[in-house]
Each structure stands twice: as C-alpha cells, then as structure tokens.
Amino acid sequence: MPTQEISAINSIDVGFGHDDFAALLDKYDYHFSPGDIVAGTVFSIEPRGALIDIGAKTSAYIPIQEMSINRIENPDEVLQPNETREFFILADENEDGQLTLSIRRIEYMRAWERVRQLQAEDATVRSAVFATNRGGALVRIEGLRGFIPGSHISTRKPKEELVGEELPLKFLEVDEDRNRLVLSHRRALVERKMNRLEVGEVVIGTVRGIKPYGAFIDIGGVSGLLHISEISHEHIDTPHSIFNVNDEVKVMIIDLDAERGRISLSTKQLEPEPGDMLKNRQLVYDKAEEMAAKYREQMKLQQQGGSANAAAEPVAEAAPEEVEESADEAAYATAADE
C-alpha cells in the first residue's frame, strides 16, 4: 500500500476520537420515555428480575413484580434467555442510566380493552371464585380482579363454600379509571333460564317474597315479579291480602327483559272474569291455559296490526322507585344449585 494512503488512514483514525464516537452514538441513539412500548431481548435472568436489551446504552431492568398481571414466584415462569418480546417503559433512567420495564402494564391495558369488548358484546364469561368477603365474592377476568356483589350471587350455598367454584357471569360495570370491574352471577343465570321461557307461557311457581308493590315468584330456579297491578283487574290494597310466602301459584309470563335480568308475571291476564283472583282463585288456575291462549292470540293480532280492541291490555309498569328496589332484591333471581 502506498505510503501516502497509510498516512491518510492514520490521520483519519487519530482524528476520530472518543468524543466524536460518543457524539455519533447520541446522534443515532433512540430516546426512550416512560409510557413507550418497545421491543427487547432478555439478556440475563436474575433471581428477582431480568436485564433486557432494548437498544439503549445500558441494559434495562424488569423486576419480578412487573413481569405478569398474575403473581409469580420465579422470573423463568415468564421469561426465557434470548427471548424477544414487547416491554412497557415504566420509569425513566435511574442514576446508573438504567430504565425500568414492565410486562404487567401491557397485560393490564390489554385486559381492560378485552373486558370492555366483552361488555359491549354482552358476553357471558366464566371464572372461579378465589375469595369471599362480607360484601360478595372475588374473581379474576382476563387477569383483572372482579367483584360480585352478594345480591348478585344466585346460589343457596353459603358464600364461603363458593371458593374454587367456577361461575357464569355477566358484566355490570367496567370502569378502568376507577379500577372497578363488577359482575353478576344472577344475570347470567337469569339470561340462561329466560332463553327457555316465552312471553304468554303459563308456569307454576312458589311465592318467595312479598313486598308492598308485588310478590316475587320462583319459577324453575329464577324469580319473576308479579306486580300488584298485575294480580287482578280488581283493586288490591296489598299483595299480603292475596298471597302468603310458600304459596304455589299459576302465573303467565308477560315480559322477559334479559338485559336487566327481569321477568314480569301476571295473574290478572288469566282471570276469566275481573276479580276472580279475589273470589275464586282455583277457577283462574283451572282456566289458565285457556286464557293464556286467548292472550297469545290477542298479542298476535296486535303484532299483525289488528284493531285496538283486539290488542291485549298494556302491562302496567312498576314505579321507578319500585323497580330499583326490586332489582336489588336477592330473592329476585334466586337460582337453583347447578
């Protein structure tokens, strides 16, 4: 090689010092910020954490408590040497220039996104109870802790015996900002039972509770509300004057509201003559199927655009305060043991 070329190379090498090299690194270095999601490769696994290469000047660190949304005992339950995956930058560089990473935060964000989607789809999910308290039971959905209020647990078992049991559940509240995930076992069971029922169907039930605004009737493991206005065409001061707890009754289903988990019932629509529920209840029960058939025919005519006279009498609605009170009654949808 000519002497002048060697001299030129040496002059370049000498001219490109440590400061120039550091400046070049800074020019092409990525700037990482808390909240970023980056790709990283497991560089070294330690007893309580792991070092991760994300392309920064110094290996980043992920502590064991940030490796999963679930509790783990050892880092190798989640990470393997040389594995590449996504990491969330949890904290800025410490005094040693090291960033703190998290997998748990990514799982947490994606879990909330998933449960919001499930709620929008009105999906039924299943989860095992892992603890109970005075207010209800605790479950995990997509790794998130969920709460089932006691009034929404529909089983005859004591709450303490539910630990370890898997329950079907519907979403009541999904609020990431307040970290509130509330579910209902009652709604899931009512919806499943309601899928087997039809408006206009006559069913036999048992009076499980009596309130000033109506009676709660257990029909095959779920409860429907027989509102006071749907007991008879005649005026009734209180349902207590007609029914006692544990009475067996024949009722007709006049509304199924799966979204709110409510079943509305009527004996008024089964009366051959107005006031028969007060004067001759057995006659009402004997003629129930016949009267229900007439009701269904009237409903059919109404749906087909028949005359107003052929339409069934509108179902009386409970006053808002009565509806709200009844919705929280534990007896409203007491489900039979599965």
Better pLDDT: 322 or 49: 49
Residue among 69, 62, 58, 57 nearest 46 (CA) = 62
- CA atoms of 271 and 267, how far apart (whole Å): 7
Across 185-208, average pLDDT: 88
- Give the β-pairing of 262-266 and 222-227: parallel
Q: Of the ranges 40-54, 62-76, 181-195, which one carries the lowest mean pLDDT score?
A: 181-195
- CA atoms of 97 and 177, how far apart (whole Å): 32
Across 291-295, average pLDDT: 92
Q: What pLDDT, on a 0 to 100 scale, did the predictor assign at position 81?
A: 93
Which range has highest mean pLDDT (15-29, 30-44, 69-83, 190-204)? Answer: 69-83
Question: How does pLDDT run across 68-79, given as a tens digit for each residue?
Answer: 998 899 999 999
Sign of CA dihedral 301, 305, 306, 310: positive
Q: What pLDDT, on a 0 to 100 scale, did the predictor assign at position 23?
A: 57
Q: Is the pLDDT of residue 326 over 70?
A: no
- The per-residue pLDDT of the chain, averaged, comes to 83
Residue among 210, 207, 332, 208 nearest 264 (CA) = 332
Instruction: Please give the C-alpha separations between residue 129 and each of 52, 140, 145, 186, 221, in angstroms, as whole numbers.
Output: 36, 8, 10, 15, 21
Name the band, by pLDDT with cuts 50, 70 and 90, for residue 22: low
Q: What pLDDT, on a 0 to 100 scale, did the predictor assign at position 17?
A: 58
Q: Give the largest Cα separation in the chain, rounded.
A: 125
Q: What pLDDT, on a 0 to 100 scale, did the predictor assign at position 18?
A: 57
Q: What pLDDT, on a 0 to 100 scale, did the predictor assign at position 31?
A: 74
Q: Is the pLDDT of residue 329 over 50?
A: no
Residue among 101, 12, 103, 7 nearest 55 (CA) = 101
Q: What pLDDT, on a 0 to 100 scale, did the predictor assign at position 310?
A: 43
Name the band, by pLDDT with cuts 50, 70 and 90, for residue 93: confident
Name the band, by pLDDT with cuts 50, 70 and 90, for residue 306: low
